[in-house]
Chains A and B, each alone.
Chain A
Amino acid sequence: MKKAIIYINQFFAGIGGEEEADHQPEIREGLVGPAMLLNQLSDAEVTDTIICGDNFMGSNEEEAVEKILGFLEDKEFDIFFAGPAFQAGRYGNACGVIGKAVKEAFDVPVISSMNEENPGVDMFKKDIYIFPGGKSAAKMKDDMAKMAELGNKILNGEGPLTAEEEGFFTRGIRHQVWLEDSKPAADRAIEMLLKKVNGEEFKSELPIPKIDRVPIAEPIKDLSEATIALATSGGIVPVDNPDKIQSASATRWGRYSVEGLDNLPNREAGEFKTIHAGYDPAAADANPDRVVPLDALRAYEEEGRIGKVHEYFYTTVGTGTTEAEAARMGQEMVEYMKDEGVDAVILTST
């Protein structure tokens, strides 16, 4: 039989309310509080219950996570549940924090439930399955039933588990599926068009997600003291492409020295070229400075407008490259830049 473990807070464990919210994390073999209900509904055996005070998790997150992951280290389990957390904000946050950590550490499915008003939903719906739940514990049975049902489907290998059919909050994970009725795209388009024209309700197959915002960096106070790095998604690399960066759907990046160079010598000179397959390479191959403007930045260095040009430029290919890979590569680049005192980056894209 498959095994499950559940996380609940001090209140649902029957330890106490607000006065016990600093309760230290603990694991108890067997069923505590809502774990009993889950055990009835789930195809898996619920072997253990993890309990933690909401405030303890809130103010000692790192310690709580470390302890709980420690409890789980020698346990065998196939799936993890957290909550339901209803409208309780701190409990929702705790379910999310623990759920995400457990998923990352043990690669098991994690399922929770929260009311749509619970801030935990937006914070963690991308990381774990979260069902829209009731406002209060009056909905315990309904909410737990949804969690258990999805868990059973996962454990029994049923699928595909789409948000639309199962009802969990969308997670921004989109995959292609073959429609059961094989309705061709042309028919779907005409039907959608007629509804739109006639003012009827229609459903886009690609709901526009909210745009990610990035915190704005502070301006550079004194450029003449600053080290500026060049970076590009235009695929400029040494002609032998030493890091084997892919020419599309890149997962690799490289950094190459520009010490002593006033500009980037071209493909013909046997130095730099582009390996980017998404645009006509002729202009970049003939003069890589069109993509990585080293010559212009050197001129500003010469003039004293900037302190200096960083020793390396950073490069990858931005065609077919997913946002997730791009973000990872960007973070990896930034670590080098920070270590070597780069104050700002000019990033060129093609």
Chain B
Amino acid sequence: MRLEIGNFPVEDIVFGEETSYNDGLLTINKEEALEVVKEDEHITEADLVIARPGEEKRIVPVKEAIEPRYRLNGDATFPGVTGKVESVGEGRTVALKGCSVLAVGKHWGSFGDGLIDMSGEGAKYTYFSKLVNVCLVADTDEEFEREEQQKKNHAIRWAAHRLAEYLGETVKDLELKEEEVLELEPITKRSQDVNDLPSVVYVMQPQSQMEELGYNDLVYGWDANRMLPTLMHPNEVLDGAIISGSFMPCSSKWSTYDFQNCPTIKRLYAEHGKTINFLGVIMSNLNVAMDQKERAAMFVQQIAKSLGADAAILAEEGYGNPDADFIACFAALEDAGVKTVGMTNECTGRDGQSQPLVTLDERADAIVSCGNVSTLIKLPPMETVIGELEALARDGLSGGWADDEKLGPSVKEDGSIIMENNSMFCGDQVLGWSPKTMKEF
């Protein structure tokens, strides 16, 4: 499978007459873009706001991030989400690099939403402070979940995907300057040199723990709760086959942007043919019953064995009971002789003294750790808030609270905040960016 991604670097984004791209400057016709957003009548209010690195801006509640992309054959950029289910990962896609579309609640937040500071101390907690962000700030008429802590956020997330596709389309006819070629030969058709290298699978456990549809990560538009682990080509993951969900505490979350740019896949590609033979991705999931967790681990083990994998990298999107899926899968792979490295974050508490994962097993002897979800973070006010700051305290975000005996509310009168890392938008970057680790103190 061969995927060519034409990269168009975006250095700045402005509003103007015509949606266009010129030498690093993306211009957006706001009215036209908002028409795309409002194709869904459930969007009742919408605006676009630009947030650039270094600006005194705080964005909350952020529900999703997407890299603007367009598939040159005209198929849906996000199959099963923005259009029909067609396979992706092969052919040509264009991408606007260095920017993202953020889905932001105009008022209402939910458990899995997060916060981004574009400058200051808070900026280091999230990858998205480094990007030029088009914030889609919207409200909807989804009254059934208005007061719920868990929200599907369907209208606004889907609108953001449409917007990302609309922006990506801007560069469809432009001459390519930089192209990234991602190609892996079929597993049985590789040269002896490659076959002699240690073969590696990447096992992904995306979030899929809500039994009701509409909250989980989607694979080709299909709810990951309803699937068994399967083999996927890494290009599919990079090319929009997976979109993020609306459930997990935010620092643990993998946004669609993260899937599209998954650093661990990119790094495995870079090593392919040199130090390893990259077999592909085993797409697993996360479950809510022990037998489901064990079944998924068994399938992952079987696929790895059938492929003859020598080694695996295993990553979980979450913490708490998903640690049981993670450890079960780790143990199953090791039992099958597949040398495994796990990637996860930890929950050691504000004082750092709690058990790092809820399940432990001595077979999990190689782990890359990406952060502590419960670290307490205090940040000064920001000049501008995009969205609604009060949502952090009021709406049950995983890292915010309305009141606390010792700490008071998360949002203070002067606009300063105190929160847990839990609500930093996709902050722990377990898909591979994380510059953080955990140390003993």
> CB within 8 Å of B: which residues of A?
126, 160-164, 170-179, 182-190, 192-194, 196-198, 202, 204-206, 208-209, 211-212, 244, 246-249, 251, 277-282, 319-320, 322-325
> CB within 8 Å of A: which residues of B?
111, 124, 149-150, 198, 200, 209-212, 249, 263-264, 266-268, 271, 275-276, 288, 310-311, 313, 319-321, 339, 341, 343-344, 346-357, 360-362, 364-375, 396, 398, 401, 403-404, 420-422, 429-441
Instruction: Knowing A182-B435, A208-B362, A322-B349, say if A176 contacts B211 (CB, 8 Å).
Output: no
Q: Which of B271, B350, B368, B401 contacts A185 (CB 8 A)?
A: B368
- List, in ascending order, chain B residues with CB within 8 A of A280's CB: 150, 210-212, 288
Q: B311 near A197 (CB under 8 angstroms)?
A: yes
Q: A184 near B210 (CB under 8 angstroms)?
A: no
Q: B371 near A176 (CB under 8 angstroms)?
A: yes
Please give me the residue from chain B that is nearest to A168 by CB atom: B440
Q: A178 near B436 (CB under 8 angstroms)?
A: yes
Bound form: Cα–Cα A278–B373 in Å: 14
Bound form: Cα–Cα A320–B398 in Å: 9
Q: Which of B355, B366, B438 contacts A175 (CB 8 A)?
A: B438
Sample of 5 more A-B contacts, CB < 8 Å, known A173-B440, A204-B365: A173-B353, A249-B374, A280-B150, A320-B249, A322-B347
Bound form: Cα–Cα A162–B421 in Å: 20
Bound form: Cα–Cα A126–B344 in Å: 24
- List, in ascending order, chain A residues with CB within 8 A of B352's CB: 173-175
Instruction: Knowing A189-B264, A320-B373, A323-B349, say if A163 contacts B440 (CB, 8 Å).
Output: yes
Instruction: Knowing A173-B352, A176-B436, A320-B422, say if A193 contacts B339 (CB, 8 Å).
Output: yes
- List, in ascending order, chain A residues with CB within 8 A of B430's CB: 185
Q: B439 near A247 (CB under 8 angstroms)?
A: no
Bound form: Cα–Cα A196–B275 in Å: 13
- List, in ascending order, chain B residues with CB within 8 A of A186's CB: 263-264, 266-267, 431-433
Q: A249 near B441 (CB under 8 angstroms)?
A: no
Q: B421 near A176 (CB under 8 angstroms)?
A: yes
Q: Which of A184, A211, A319, A322 contacts B263 (CB 8 A)?
A: A184
Q: B263 near A161 (CB under 8 angstroms)?
A: no
List 25 contacting pairs A-B, 8 Å CB cutoff, sorted by A: A126-B353, A163-B439, A175-B438, A179-B436, A184-B433, A184-B434, A185-B263, A189-B264, A189-B432, A193-B276, A193-B341, A193-B366, A197-B198, A197-B311, A202-B366, A204-B366, A206-B356, A206-B357, A206-B369, A247-B396, A278-B320, A281-B150, A320-B373, A322-B347, A325-B354
Q: B440 near A190 (CB under 8 angstroms)?
A: no
Instruction: Knowing A206-B346, A208-B361, A324-B349, say if A192 contacts B434 (CB, 8 Å).
Output: no
Bound form: Cα–Cα A182–B433 in Å: 9
Taking the closest CB of chain B, its distance from the CB of A211, in whole angstroms, is: 6
Please give me the residue from chain B that is nearest to A162 by CB atom: B439
Question: Which of A173, A189, A249, A320 counts the most chain B CB atoms within 10 A?
Answer: A189
Instruction: Knowing A173-B441, A175-B438, A211-B360, say if A324 contacts B351 (CB, 8 Å).
Output: yes
Q: Which of A182, A247, A248, A325 contacts B349 (CB 8 A)?
A: A325
Q: A188 near B368 (CB under 8 angstroms)?
A: yes
Taking the closest CB of chain B, its distance from the CB of A312, in whole angstroms, is: 23
Taking the closest CB of chain B, its distance from the CB of A127, in whole angstroms, is: 11
Instruction: Knowing A189-B432, A196-B339, say if A177 contacts B212 (CB, 8 Å).
Output: no
Bound form: Cα–Cα A175–B434 in Å: 15
Please give me the residue from chain A that is nearest to B403 by CB atom: A244
- A-B Cβ contacts below 8 A, count: 204
Bound form: Cα–Cα A185–B265 in Å: 12
- List, in ascending order, chain A residues with CB within 8 A of B263's CB: 184-186
Q: Which of B321, B360, B403 contacts A278 (CB 8 A)?
A: B321
Taking the closest CB of chain B, its distance from the CB of A189, in whole angstroms, is: 5
Bound form: Cα–Cα A189–B432 in Å: 8
Q: A187 near B267 (CB under 8 angstroms)?
A: yes
Instruction: Knowing A190-B271, A322-B374, say if A183 contacts B435 (CB, 8 Å).
Output: yes
- List, in ascending order, chain A residues with CB within 8 A of B347's CB: 320, 322
Taking the closest CB of chain B, its distance from the CB of A62, in whole angstroms, is: 25
Q: Which of A175, A188, A208, A282 contacts B360 (CB 8 A)?
A: A208
Please give me the residue from chain A that is nearest to B421 by CB atom: A176
Bound form: Cα–Cα A206–B316 in Å: 15
- List, in ascending order, chain A residues with CB within 8 A of B200's CB: 193
- List, in ascending order, chain A residues with CB within 8 A of B366's CB: 192-193, 196, 202, 204
Give the 10 A-B residue pairs with the shortest CB-CB distance, closest first. A186-B432, A322-B349, A322-B354, A163-B440, A323-B354, A206-B367, A185-B434, A170-B440, A205-B369, A182-B435
Q: B353 near A172 (CB under 8 angstroms)?
A: yes
- List, in ascending order, chain B residues with CB within 8 A of A173's CB: 348, 351-353, 440-441
Question: Which of B313, B352, B429 counts the most chain A CB atoms within 10 A?
Answer: B352
Q: A196 near B311 (CB under 8 angstroms)?
A: yes
Taking the closest CB of chain B, its distance from the CB of A250, in whole angstroms, is: 11
- List, in ascending order, chain A residues with CB within 8 A of B396's CB: 247, 277
Please give me the residue from chain B that is nearest to A129 by CB atom: B441
Instruction: Knowing A184-B263, A193-B311, A249-B420, say if A174 contacts B360 (CB, 8 Å).
Output: no
Q: A177 near B437 (CB under 8 angstroms)?
A: yes
Q: A206 near B438 (CB under 8 angstroms)?
A: yes
Taking the closest CB of chain B, its distance from the CB of A19, in whole angstroms, is: 41
Please give me the residue from chain A that is nearest to B268 by CB atom: A190
Please give me the residue from chain A that is nearest to B149 by CB atom: A277
Bound form: Cα–Cα A251–B407 in Å: 12
